[in-house]
Every structure is written in structure tokens, then in C-alpha cells.
Amino acid sequence: MPGHVGLVVHPRRDIEAALRKLLECASNHDMEVGQVQIPGQSRTVADPVEVTSCDLVIALGGDGTALAALHAAAPASRPVLGIACGSIGVLTSVPAEKLEPALDQVAAGDWIPQRLPGLDITVGGEELTVAINDVAVVRNGAGQVIVAIEVDDELYARTAGDGLVVATPIGSTAYTMAAGGPIVLPQVPSMVVTPLARHGGVSPPLVVGPESRISLTIESGYGGSRIEVDGRLLADGALDATVRVRNEYATMVTLAGEESLLAGLRRRALVIDSPRVLVRDKRTARDSS
């Protein structure tokens, strides 16, 4: 049973009711609660605590909060439980109203560590950071950005458009899916490369094996370009970048009996049946009543 819990909270969202319930449940299970400090965030809800002294990290907010918690916890190899507070929440697997039974399960040891890969990002020959969801090359303003995509030194395509996204399997349900890329299940080790609003040419989304290396040569347009990692700015300008898989970078708590990724996507209406099928279902239900 975790004795020390570190909180990572959304910087602005209303989390007060969930926080009160969490503190109450933690007290019932003799858990000590502190707050893990996130750079650039000033909201304070508990005394500060080092992530290395925590047995468990809990994220209260949405997927962005969960990503911040996963990044904070990864160097110390601490597991993260995501609680969705008014969010769609793919990484935050527990809705706030189910916080109490979720903590009961965690206290009872009724959970599974899900190891998440990361993406090592090297820019200009210097290894800068790790992504959990994705790394995106995007145009900064007017004009297009041209990106040459190589896989293990073999050219795949040179794209001109809004840029591209390289995602992990867990990140394939985020920016990549919004751009028309495939959903990759967590048990399929891989990276996904998805061009963004390309101007002509043929370069469909590409799934790359975990041992491969993706090299990106970026040519900025008139408005420039930037590289974002998990939605945060990493670098500006025409650069060369390399992306590789880092296995088991972070750990997410999966509760016993938790719904599958596909079931969760359908429940959240991120994946919806064809309107033709839905209309047919309504007609069949009406005819049988």
C-alpha cells in the first residue's frame, strides 16, 4: 500500500471537490499527501514533496496534467494514477466521481503497472528531452514547412504543409488521431509519423518499428517553424531532429477491471459509428417496439 502520495494538479481547473475526496480517502488509508512541484506552475494545494519520496503520484485534472505527472515521476520510476476532473481524459483513466473506489483498489494493491515508452528527441545533435505522447513539427505562421522524413537513413518522403507529428502508441489517440493518423494499441511497440495538411504529394501516415530511427530535416517557411514536445515548445527554426523509442520511460497505474483503450475511446465519443449504422439501429429499435 502506498504510504506517501504526491499530487500534480491542473493549474486552473476546478478540482476542489475531487481534492477534498482524495484527502479524505488518503487519510482513511493512512496515506501522507504532498504536492509535487511542476516548473512554471504556481497553484498550491498541499505542502511540497519530492517525487523521490513518493510511492505514488496522482494527477488531478486532464491529460495535460497526467503528462506533467508522468514526466515528473519518470526519473524516479514512480507510478502515476490519472483522475479526470471535467476532462475527456484518455490518460486520466478514472473519473473524479470514482476516485474513492479507485484509491481503495490502489491501497489494496489491486492494480497493474503499465509501462509507457517515450520518444528520445535529439535536435542539432544534442539529446534534449523525451516525449510521452508526441513530438510535432509545425509552421509558425504564413507559408509552409518542408520536412524530409528518413527511417534508418532511407528517405520516406519530403512533405510541404503544416508539418508532421511523430507519436507513441499512447499518443496515437491525441494529435495524430486528430490529423487522420491511425490508432495504435499500447501492446504494439512502434512510432507513428503523420503529416499535417500536406500540400499535394502522397505520404500517408507511417508506422515504424521500435528499433528504428526517424530523422527529420526541417526547412522553415516564411513564418518559421517550431518543434513541440507533448504540446510544449522545444525549439524554433530550421533544424535537424532525430526521434527514437525509449522503452519503459514512464509508468501509469491501470486498475484491475479497467476498460480497454478502445472501449474508452467509444465511451468518450472519440470514436463514433457511421451515421448510417446509427440510423439503422434507431429504425430497427423503433420497428421492434
Cβ distance 149 to 193 under 8 Å?
yes
pTM of the model: 0.90
Domains, the chain: 4-109 (3.40.50.10330), 117-247 (2.60.200.30)
**Residues listed for the chain:** 289
Nearest to 183 by CA among 195, 197, 168: 168
Q: Angle at which helices 16-28 and 99-107 pack, to 10 degrees? A: 30
Task: List, for residues 215-251, the tens digit of each pLDDT value.
Answer: 999 998 888 899 999 999 998 888 899 999 999 999 9
Mean pLDDT of each 10-residue bin along the chain, 289 residues long = 86 88 89 90 89 94 92 95 81 85 90 94 91 95 92 96 96 93 94 93 94 95 90 88 96 88 88 94 88
Instruction: Classify residue 18 by its DSSP letter.
Output: H
The pLDDT score that the predictor gives to residue 124 is 84
How would you classify residue 40: left for phi > 0, otherwise alpha for psi between -120 and 50, otherwise beta? left
Terminus-to-terminus CA distance in the chain, angstroms? 51
Which residue shows C-alpha cell 499527501?
Answer: 33
Q: Which residues contact 83 (CB under 8 A, 6 or more apart)?
A: 18, 22, 58, 59, 60, 61, 92, 94, 95, 96, 99, 102
Q: Which residues are part of the catalytic machinery? A: 63
The span from the CA of 26 to the CA of 274, in Å, is 44
For residue 232, give the C-alpha cell.
510544449
The pLDDT score that the predictor gives to residue 143 is 86
The span from the CA of 158 to the CA of 147, in Å, is 6
User: What are 240's strand-pairing partners?
Assistant: 217
Cβ distance 120 to 243 under 8 Å?
yes
The pLDDT score that the predictor gives to residue 1 is 58
